[in-house]
Amino acid sequence: MVPERKDNGLRVGPYELLTRLATGGMGEVFIARRTGAGAFEKKVALKLLLPHLVPDQEFVHRFFDEARLAARMNHPNVVQIFDVGESDGRPYLAMALVEGISLGRFLKVVRAKNVQLPLPIVRLIATGLLEGLAHAHTLKGTRGEELGVIHRDVTPSNLLLSTAGSVMLNDFGIAKAAINEHETRPGRMRGKYAYLAPEQAHRGRLTLRADLFSAAVTIYETLTLVSPFLHPGDVQTMEAIVKQVPASARTLRPDASEQMAKALERGLSKKPEDRFGSARQFREALVDGPVATAPELGELVQQLCGDQLRVFHRLEGGSASPGVAAPRPAPVSPAVAPPPRSRWKPLA
Ligand SMILES: Nc1ncnc2c1ncn2[C@@H]1O[C@H](COP(=O)(O)OP(=O)(O)OP(=O)(O)O)[C@@H](O)[C@H]1O
Ligand SMILES: [Mg+2]
């Protein structure tokens, strides 16, 4: 699984692997270090394509598509790609190391600790997600042409929350510019089922509105801690996506405004044309009150997920890339009291 040992450490191209962060659906993610002249050193997150995918040329192409598209993006709500390459036949991607945790893991901790997220924190996460998407959706090519980028895999595991309070969209691994659509082999289902848009479940033609649906599912879950379509089986989950109308978010979070609940409802519309026309319109409708500051979110991430963040501090030299590492944040008010446990079960 791990590449061969060369010199004193495990090396991939010019990078030395320091520790493994996680294994995802397409690759293994490591903290790695690149060194250079004059004691230059930069820590990065390095994603190595899983070995069993390498013989599959579609996956390899998809991996390089991720790099090519994502490298064009330069936005505080999108994880920056630095470099791409191949080492011993395994493609890799070097990206900004985000000292933090995915929203997916964060929500698991929030549930386990029996707390709810304060509304301003939910608004900050939603704002980051939708601004990152707005950047991707409006990305232009070198001749100023619209690239029509669609993420296609907007899920809590692809949104990173840093200890400095940044909210960053990751993993344009299955994003394809619409102009490349014909290259996508039809019929291969991508993304995680509970976040798929109905048109993805039907394997229909996708527009940016598919991302808005997945973003609405992600934000609904961040607000209520309930994944609105999740069932034990994939088939039931897909059926729910296509047919089931989730309860208003206000039945689970009565403190949320009618405006916020309505915006989520519109984002979750089965028909793409009934959703918002852009990520920015969605954000404007949804974010109806005070938004937490980045230090407040950073403090909450550190407060709730300290154990899982240790991996970043075990390394010699401590923190991650500049701009991502945490300044000492201001204190935040504690998360508010949770609803009764029974309310958190997935909707029947
Ligand atoms: N740039 C990064 N900086 C820090 N941690 C990262 C970075 N990219 C990914 N990770 C960590 O690695 C984990 C796995 O990411 P990865 O994208 O490989 O898998 P996934 O999102 O769980 O599944 P999928 O392959 O379907 O996207 C993330 O949850 C996050 O904790
Ligand atoms: Mg991912």
pLDDT tens digits for range 268-313: 999 999 999 999 999 999 999 999 999 999 999 999 999 889 988 8
How many C-beta atoms lie closer than 10 Å to residue 112's C-beta? 9
Annotated catalytic, 153? yes
Short-list 65, 206, 72, CA closest to 140? 72
Q: Which residue has the higher pLDDT, 180 or 200?
A: 200
Give the integer Cα–Cα distance in Å for 301 and 103: 10
Task: Indicate which residue of 65, 153, 171, 211 is catalytic.
Answer: 153
Residue 342, pLDDT above cutoff 70:
no
Predicted local distance difference test score (pLDDT) of residue 183: 39
Q: Domains (ranges, CATH) in the chain? A: 4-97 (3.30.200.20), 100-295 (1.10.510.10)
Give the integer Cα–Cα distance in Å for 269 and 266: 5
Q: Is the CB of 126 under 6 A from ligand 1?
A: no
Predicted local distance difference test score (pLDDT) of residue 230: 94
288 CA from centroid of ligand 1 (Å): 30
pTM for the model: 0.85
Give the integer Cα–Cα distance in Å for 146 and 177: 9
184 residue type, one letter: T
Residue 233, pLDDT above cutoff 60:
yes
Residue 196, pLDDT above cutoff 80:
yes
30 CA from centroid of ligand 2 (Å): 13
- For atom 19 of ligand 1, the residue with the nearest CA is 24
Cβ–Cβ under 8 Å, residues 305 and 311 = no
Q: Which residue has the higher pLDDT, 18 or 178?
A: 18
Q: Is the CB of 51 under 6 A from ligand 1?
A: no
Q: Which of 18, 29, 97 to mutate to test the pocket of ligand 1 (most atoms within 8 A of CB)?
A: 29
- pLDDT, average across residues 19-43: 86
pLDDT tens digits for range 47-100: 988 777 677 777 777 778 767 877 889 999 999 989 888 888 888 989 999 999
- Structure confidence at residue 335 as a pLDDT band (50, 70, 90): low
Residues present in the chain in total: 348
26 CA from centroid of ligand 2 (Å): 8
99 CA from centroid of ligand 2 (Å): 15
Q: Which residues pair with 331 in a beta bridge?
A: none
